[in-house]
Amino acid sequence: MNTHNGGRGRIEVRDVGVMFESRGAAVIAVDGVSLTVEPGEFVSLIGPSGCGKSTLLNIVAGFVQPTSGETLLDGKLISCPGSDRGVVFQQYSLFPWLTVRKNVEFGLKMQGVPGSKRETSARTLLGLAGLLSFENHYPDQLSGGMKQRVGIVRALATSPQVLLMDEPFGALDAQTRVVMQEILTNIWQKFRLSVLFVTHDIDESIFLSDKIFVMTARPGRIKAEIQVNLPRPRKPEMTTTPEFVELTQRLRALIREESLSAMGGELKDGGLGGFGMEVGPSGVGAVM
Ligand SMILES: Nc1ncnc2c1ncn2[C@@H]1O[C@H](COP(=O)(O)OP(=O)(O)O)[C@@H](O)[C@H]1O
Ligand SMILES: [Mg+2]
């Protein structure tokens, strides 16, 4: 944990449950989840598809209300979205009719920040993300990785205490993704804000995080809390160290159980063997 941000940005999820109505039937999406993100901490939420990761993130964002339990930011009940929380989704949500810089300025404009001040802030942030020379481009002139960098910069523009990210690199190719992860850790180290990051990629969660919460298959509960004590700044070379590999194996074992359970039916380890399926260490994990 670091405390450079004045100790603000503490997220507390307390015994949260979420039930959805689906075609007349009640679906328990999240059940009894408690977790804490300390000020300035980078925390990942990982688990099989459909286990409630996005639902939890949307609760912290204020887009979804829990059926039971409560969520607090710095001791204050979260009941709606707010500029204290920046959100980045997987799909690029930039305004196509605005230039890169105008996209970044948008939140500041909504807050009534004057034009020249907006421009200075946006240009500073774009510079940090290596995007200054693209400030007058439109989103559809950018690659996927660049669009997502603009998305991150835009979320940071209003100086939130918290950054909420839902599989932000999920649509990018593997190489771009690795570069984006490094850019994100670098930006995060500069801003020292709290991050809640949803992913189903084990390596990504270890590379980025201080702490990882592993969720069970639906209904989503917290299955394990894993501390990542790798030094900062994180470097791509670290992914081959014994510490990193050991963490990968632990997480893979935890998530494999849940992926099998999420797939349902007769699929157990023995069962897979019975079908003559080859299940490598990452085989079933990749189903998430
Ligand atoms: N608005 C909704 N209405 C009904 N069911 C929903 C709604 N949102 C999510 N769900 C269900 O809740 C479960 C968790 O969804 P989600 O949080 O999107 O999972 P994840 O992000 O881990 O893949 C899924 O079974 C999903 O179908
Ligand atoms: Mg999701």
252 falls within a domain = no
pLDDT of 12-57, one tens digit each?
999 999 999 988 899 999 999 999 999 999 999 999 889 999 999 9
The answer to whether residues 80 and 114 belong to one domain is: no
Using DSSP, state whether 62 is helix, strand or coil.
Answer: coil
pLDDT of 218-232, one tens digit each?
899 999 999 999 999
Tokens coding 9: 């940005």
Query: Which residues lie below 8 Å from residue 263, measured CB to CB, with a gap of 6+?
Result: 284, 287
How many structural domains are present in the chain?
A: 2
- The answer for 44, left when phi > 0, alpha when psi is -120 to 50, beta otherwise, is beta
Choose the weakest-confidence range: 62-66, 173-177, 208-212.
Answer: 173-177
Among protein residues, the one with the nearest Cα to ligand 1's atom 1 is 20
271 falls within a domain = no
The answer to whether residues 179 and 76 belong to one domain is: yes
The answer to whether residues 103 and 237 belong to one domain is: no
pLDDT at position 277, please?
39
The ligand minimizing its distance to the Cα of 215 is: 1
CA of 49 to the centre of ligand 2 (A): 7
The answer to whether residues 61 and 113 belong to one domain is: no
Using DSSP, state whether 84 is helix, strand or coil.
Answer: coil
Q: Is 29 in the pocket of ligand 1 (CB under 6 A)?
A: yes
pLDDT at position 22, please?
84
DSSP alpha helices (H): ranges in 199-241?
202-208
pLDDT of 83-131, one tens digit each?
999 999 888 789 999 999 999 999 999 999 999 999 999 999 999 889 9
Q: Is 26 in the pocket of ligand 1 (CB under 6 A)?
A: no
pLDDT at position 79, please?
96
Domain end, chosen from 107, 125, 159, is at: 159
The answer to whether residues 164 and 238 belong to one domain is: yes
Residues with CB under 5 A from ligand 2 (ion): 54
Average pLDDT rounded to a whole number, residues 209-213 = 98
The answer to whether residues 80 and 164 belong to one domain is: yes
Domain end, chosen from 143, 159, 175, is at: 159
CATH code of the domain containing 64 = 3.40.50.300
pLDDT value at 285 more than 80: no
Q: Is 53 in the pocket of ligand 1 (CB under 6 A)?
A: yes
Among protein residues, the one with the nearest Cα to ligand 1's atom 9 is 55
The answer to whether residues 143 and 16 belong to one domain is: no
Q: What is the bridge-based pairing of β-strands 85-88 and 162-166?
A: parallel
pLDDT value at 154 more than 60: yes
Of 119, 187, 120, the C-alpha closest to 149 is 187
pLDDT at position 268, please?
56
* Residue from 54, 55, 90, 215 whose mutation best tests the ligand 1 pocket (most atoms within 8 A of CB): 55
Among protein residues, the one with the nearest Cα to ligand 1's atom 18 is 54
250 falls within a domain = no
Q: Within 10 A of 149 (CB to CB), how many other CB atoms are there?
A: 25
The answer to whether residues 232 and 174 belong to one domain is: yes
Structural domain containing residue 130: 96-159
pLDDT at position 286, please?
37
pLDDT value at 205 more than 80: yes
Average pLDDT rounded to a whole number, residues 242-265 = 89
pLDDT at position 281, please?
42
What's the start-to-end Cα distance of the chain, in Å? 29
pLDDT at position 267, please?
58
113 falls within a domain = yes
Average pLDDT rounded to a whole number, residues 154-174 = 94
186 falls within a domain = yes
C-alpha to C-alpha distances, 266 to 134, 253, 269, 271, nearest whole angstrom: 52, 19, 9, 6
Q: Return d(Cα 89, Cα 153) in angstroms, integer.
A: 13
Among protein residues, the one with the nearest Cα to ligand 1's atom 3 is 20
Q: What is the mean pLDDT of the chain?
A: 89
247 falls within a domain = no
- Answer for the pair 28, 17: CB distance below 8 angstroms, yes or no: yes
Among protein residues, the one with the nearest Cα to ligand 1's atom 25 is 50
Domain end, chosen from 159, 175, 200, is at: 159
Q: Is 54 in the pocket of ligand 1 (CB under 6 A)?
A: yes
Q: Is 48 in the pocket of ligand 1 (CB under 6 A)?
A: no
Whole-prediction pTM: 0.89
Choose the weakest-confidence range: 26-40, 66-80, 257-271.
Answer: 257-271
Q: Is 55 in the pocket of ligand 1 (CB under 6 A)?
A: yes
